[in-house]
Amino acid sequence: MMDLTQPQWVRHTVLHPFEGFEDLRWKKAGSLKYAAVIVAALFVALIAYDRWCGFQFRPLPDQLFSILPYLTRSVVYFAAWVLGNWAVCTLLDGEGTMKNICIYSAYALIPYIVSVFVNVLLSHILVRAEMVFFTTVSYVGLIWTGLLLFNAVKAVHQYSIAKTAAAIALTVFAMLVILFLGVLVLSLFQKVYVFFYSLYTEILYRVRV
Amino acid sequence: MKYNPSRLLTRVCAGIAALLTALAAPVPAAADEPYDVYNYNYLGEAVPSQAGYVAERAVSGLDLGTTAFSAPSDLCRDRDDNFYVVDSGNNRIVKIDSELQKVLKIYDRFTMPDGSETSLSNPKGIYVSPDTGLIYIADNENARALVSDAEGKVQTVIEKPESTVYDQALTFLPQKILCDNAGNVYIVLNNTTKGAAMFDSSGSFIGYYGANAVPRTAAVIANHFWNMIASEEERQFRRRNAPTAFDNFDIDTAKGFIFTSTSSGASDTDIVKKVNPEGHNLFDYMSGYRWGDLFSTWYSGTTYKTRIVDIDIGDDGSINCLDATTGRVFQYDKEASLLFIMGTTGDQVGSFMAGSVTAVETKGENCESVYVLDGGKGTVTEFRQTVFGRIVHRATALYNSGCYEEALGPWLEVLKRDGNYRSAYLGISSAYYNMGRYKESMDYAKKADASARYNRAFERYRSEWLRAHLTGIAALAAVLAAALLVRKYLKKRRKQKQSAPDAGETAA
């Protein structure tokens, strides 16, 4: 019963929002490799949305393009989510391991990624007046991903619905804390770097004089 | 001659070096200008540009055969293209011919209506009516304005109004003066924020005209709120919300609109206004628009930002703003989109003393010349339109009057000379759109980064494409539908075949 290959598992979880992740957990399936590919696909999708859309929908001038915001919005946010969820749910008697949280959350992102790519394709044949199709697709993708993510958290930690909702709220808070600390550490390292660099130049001047 | 290999080598090396330096020497974009010519792109970045105007010459009072100008403060052109320089320090008006070659007349004494003679005292402003040829002079320290004919016979004297509308505690020191097509006289005073004092043609006071608006900032709104709930005594000690006062203006004689300019840096609201005869600002919708340079620079405790001290409306409707901080003239078309920037601070021709430029004036049907009066140096500098400037002006004029297709040729010519000129891409896109060449219109809209225009052209392109390929699309749809039907039928049959033997068995 339910002897699926890894791609079939991905398909199964995405198409069965309520049972899929329970099945995944029951069969101890799911692959970290596939999760990594999905997060990479999210990164590509975000860039595609700003770069490959039909010109009538393109919001971003070419000169202002930078790769860093996309990296942040995909990889960094995902990492913060996984870390935050793991930290919160370990304290809340969750049963999920870091690896499983990572896999389940990544699988849940697929509808959103697909909706972005569908929009990129649609944007080449629609005009601005027909934007409603565009927004419908992205809403469907977002709601589907939201549903999957909720059930992913519920399944991986074996929570009730109420506890899942609370855990997600706390996770978002934890993400904010993690990102805040991350920025703090970055600026600290920058200061340290500047300190040692000015020390180095100072010594260089003294040696020369 | 003795053969000396090392000497020969040195010579060859020197020759090569000289050649290399000659080749490597940077070729300036505009070889004649003492400044880098630039323009702003739609992202607000300064980008190099072709010069629309080049400084031709600077003329001083001595060049014209009279004494040097002393702190000249205003410049005006009459209907015969003669120029009037208000030579404030010498208390006179100097009339110069249209080519700035010689002095035609010097007005230093005027005959009053009662026959007595009078002279000027630190005059500040002048306007010559294109209809009547009358000369309007803001005679600042005599606290009056004179309306004189070309011979120097004063027709009307405007003095401090006795009306109750005019606060009698205030002085009456005219700074700038103007008259409209109906003969009404407008005078800028430096002691009120209510606008220009307006007089009818006989010199009696009508009221104030065209005041700036108070900026709509959060601080102003909060202050207004606290003033509302404050008591009468408290209110006396509270700051009142007052607008900045405009300090120069010009009239678009063809249309009758008065354009005002404000040099005060206290607010960014209403720096340039276009006021209709009713007193409403038609540029109100762009009250936050940055006229002049988009960025202010901060250096050693002082902020240097654009200070527009004079404005001139060309015969083609172009808006020329003079920035005293940088000595630059910013030329806009009548829709207020930036055309050219010229001038700088310095000592060469085409550069001015920092903070001392006082007036800008234009000449010609398409603004062929721009004149800048430098109050510090006492010179009039003429900027002459380049070929590039002429083409841009022609294209802009056609484009603004809606002749998109006629403007196509000039715009293509503009692009050949300056690929950074964004209006050209927009103009070409509009022209091709009107001509029904939607694909090209899309291409140029894309180059201008104008996605709304691209959208418009794409919509027409798509419907044309659909109409052209309708049979193909219909055929494809029919084939697909047939294929689906066949597949469904085959599936059904396969299922029937699989279940048929079972049925036979049970029956048997």
d(CA B462, CA B181): 51
Q: Which domain holds residue A117?
A: 6-208
* Closest Cβ–Cβ partner in A56, A62, A64 for B458: A56
The type of residue at B338 is: L
The residues, ordered by sequence, that sit 6+ positions from A195 with a Cβ below 8 Å of its Cβ are none
Any domain includes B323: yes
> Cα(A107)–Cα(A17) distance, rounded to whole angstroms?
11
Dist. CA B446–CA B466, nearest whole Å: 22
From A63, A125, A127, residue closest to B43, measured CB to CB: A63
Q: What is the mean pLDDT of residues B146-158?
A: 93
Segment B270-297 mean pLDDT: 88
Interface with A, mutate which of B454, B466, B469 (most A CBs under 10 A) = B454
- pLDDT computed for residue A122 by the predictor: 93
pLDDT exceeds cutoff 90 at A121: yes
* CA-angle at B261, arms to B200 and B179, nearest 5°: 20
Verify whether the Cβ–Cβ distance B462 to A54 is below 8 Å.
Answer: no
Judgement on whether residues B392 and B335 belong to the same structural domain of the protein: no
Coil, strand or helix at A36: helix
pLDDT at B182 over 50: yes
Mean pLDDT (chain A) is 93
pLDDT value of position A58:
83
Distance (Å, whole) CA A49 – CA A59: 9
Sign, CA dihedral A36-A38-A41-A45, equals negative
> Is B449 in the A-facing interface, judged by CB distances under 8 Å?
yes
- B 135-164 near A (Cβ less than 8 A): none
> Is the CA virtual torsion B126, B131, B133, B136 positive or negative?
negative
Q: Which helix (H) or strand (E) holds B165?
A: none
Selected residue of B425, B429, B458 to mutate for chain A interface (largest A Cβ count, 10 A): B458
Query: Is B455's CB within 8 Å of A127's CB?
Result: yes
Residues B189-225: tens digit of each pLDDT: 988 889 999 999 999 999 999 999 888 888 889 988 9
End position of a domain, from candidates B337, B354, B385: B385
Does residue B287 carry a pLDDT above 80?
Answer: no
Residue A138 is assigned to a structural domain of this protein: yes
Q: What is the mean pLDDT of residues B296-309?
A: 86
CB-CB under 8 Å, A61 with B454: no
B414 in the same domain as B365: no
Closest chain A CA to residue B462: A125
pLDDT surpasses 70 at B14: no
Provide the total of helices (H) and of strands (E) in chain B, helices listed first: 9, 31
* Mean pLDDT, rounded, of chain B: 89
Residue B2 is assigned to a structural domain of this protein: no
In a mutational test of the B interface, the residue from A51, A58, A125, A127 whose CB has the highest number of chain B CBs within 10 Å is: A127
Number of separate domains in chain A: 1
Residue B34 lies in a domain: no
Position A93 pLDDT exceeds 70: yes
In whole angstroms, give the CA distance from residue B320 to residue B49: 18
Q: Is A37 within the bounds of a domain?
A: yes
Q: How many CB atoms lie within 10 A of CB A55?
A: 18
Residues B403 and B350 occupy one common structural domain: no
| CB contact B462 to A (< 8 Å) | yes
Residue with tokens 């009339």: B95
Using CA atoms, how far residue B141 sits from B75, B93, B175, B179, in Å, is 19, 15, 10, 21
How far is Cα B59 from Cα B179, in angstroms, rounded to an integer? 28
* A56/B451 touch (CB, cutoff 8 Å), yes or no: yes
**Banded pLDDT at B28 (limits 50, 70, 90):** very low
Residue A1 lies in a domain: no
Q: Which residue of chain B is at minimal alpha-carbon distance from A63?
A: B43
Q: B450 and B437 share a domain?
A: yes
Q: Do B171 and B257 reside in the same domain of the chain?
A: yes
**In this structure, is residue B26 part of a structural domain?**
no
Q: Which residue of A has its CA nearest to B448?
A: A61
CA separation for the pair A73, B507 (Å, rounded) = 65
Query: Between chain A and chain B, how many beta carbons pairs sit less than 8 Å apart?
Result: 27
Is residue B496 situated within a structural domain?
Answer: no
> Between B493 and B300, whose confidence is greater?
B493
Helix or strand (DSSP H, E) at B439: helix B438-447
Specify if B210 maps to a domain: yes
Write phi, then psi, for B248 (nearest 5 degrees): -155, 160
Higher pLDDT, A63 or B317: B317
pLDDT, residue A118, reads: 96
pLDDT of residue B508: 43
Q: Tell whether the torsion through CA atoms of A94, A98, A99 and A101 is positive or negative.
A: positive
For chain A, counts of helices (H) and of strands (E) = 9, 0
Contact residues, chain A, for B442 at CB < 8 Å: 55
Residue B53 to residues A53, A63, B32, B37, B420: CA-CA distances in angstroms?
A: 41, 29, 11, 10, 17
Residues of A in contact with B444 (CB under 8 A): none
**Mean pLDDT over residues B71-96, rounded?**
94
Contact A127, A138 (CB under 8 A): no
Supply angle C-alpha B20, B26, B27, rounded to 5.
115
Q: What Cα–Cα distance (Å) separates residue B362 from each residue in B174, B322, B380, B383?
A: 24, 12, 12, 9
CA B395 vs CA B250, B405, B434: distances in Å: 25, 10, 16
B361 vs B352: CA distance, rounded Å: 15
Q: Is B451 within 8 Å of A63 when comparing Cβ atoms? A: no
CATH number at residue B450: 1.25.40.10
Q: Cβ contact (<8 Å) for A127 and B458?
A: yes
Q: For B319-357, what is each residue's pLDDT tens digit?
A: 999 999 999 999 999 889 999 999 999 999 999 998 899
Q: What is the pLDDT of residues B88-114, one digit of tens each?
A: 999 999 999 999 999 999 999 999 999
Chain B residue closest in CA terms to A53: B451
Are B394 and B312 found together in one domain? no
What is the DSSP track for B216-280?
A: --HHHHHHHHHHHHS-HHHHHHSPP--PPPP-EEEEETTTTEEEEE---TT-STTSEEEE-TTS-
- State the CB neighbour count (10 A cutoff) for residue A201: 10
How distant is the Cα of A130 from the closest Cα of chain B, in angstroms? 11
pLDDT exceeding 90 applies to what percent of chain B? 69
Residue B25 clears pLDDT 50, i.e. is over it: no
DSSP character at residue A123: T
Query: For chain A, how long is the longest CA-to-CA vector?
Result: 81
User: Structural domain tally of chain B?
Assistant: 2
CATH code for the domain in which residue B273 is found:
2.120.10.30
Cβ separation A55–B452 shorter than 8 A: no
Cross-chain Cβ contact A56/B446 below 8 Å: no
Q: Evaluate whether residue B32 is within a structural domain.
A: no
Print the domain residue range for B402: 386-491
- Do the chains contact at B451 and A55, CB–CB below 8 Å? yes
- Quick one: B194 and B302 in the same domain? yes
Determine the pLDDT at residue B29. 45
Q: What pLDDT is recorded for position B5?
A: 52
The DSSP code for A74 is I
A5-52 pLDDT, tens digit per residue, is: 888 999 999 999 999 999 999 888 889 999 999 999 999 999 999 999
pLDDT at B500: 66
Residue from the list A56, A57, A61 with its beta carbon closest to the beta carbon of B449: A61
Is the domain of B116 the same as that of B195? yes
> Is there a single domain that holds both residue B356 and residue B450?
no
Find the chain A residues whose C-beta atoms sit closer than 8 A to any C-beta of B. 54-58, 61-64, 125, 127-129
Nearest CA of chain A to the CA of B464: how many Å?
13
Q: Collect all residues of chain B within an 8 Å Cβ-Cβ radius of residue A127.
A: 455, 458-459, 462
Cβ(B411)–Cβ(B428) below 8 Å: yes
Stretch B252-274: mean pLDDT, rounded? 89
**C-beta of residue B316 within 8 angstroms of C-beta of residue B324:** no
Residues B112-130 have pLDDT tens digits of 999 999 999 999 999 999 9
Tokens (6 digits) for B140: 């600042």
Best CA proximity match to B161, nearest among B182, B185, B129:
B185
Q: Could you tell me if B287 and B410 lie in one domain? A: no
What is the gyration radius of the CA atoms in chain B, in angstroms? 33
Residues in A touching B450 (Cβ below 8 Å): none
CB contact under 8 A, A55 and B442: yes
Question: Hey, how many other C-beta atoms are within 10 angstroms of the C-beta on B401?
Answer: 11
Pair (B347, B439) in one structural domain:
no
Residue carrying structure tokens 């960025």:
B295
Count Cα atoms within 13 angstroms, Cβ side, for B447: 18
Shortest CA distance to B180 belongs to which of B195, B200, B158, B163?
A: B200
Which of A55, A64, A125 is the closest to B454 by Cβ? A55
Same-domain pairing of B346 and B431: no
Smallest Cβ distance to B459: which of A58, A63, A127?
Answer: A127
Chain B residues inside the 8 Å CB shell of A58: 451
Express each pLDDT in B487-496 by its tens digit: 999 999 998 8
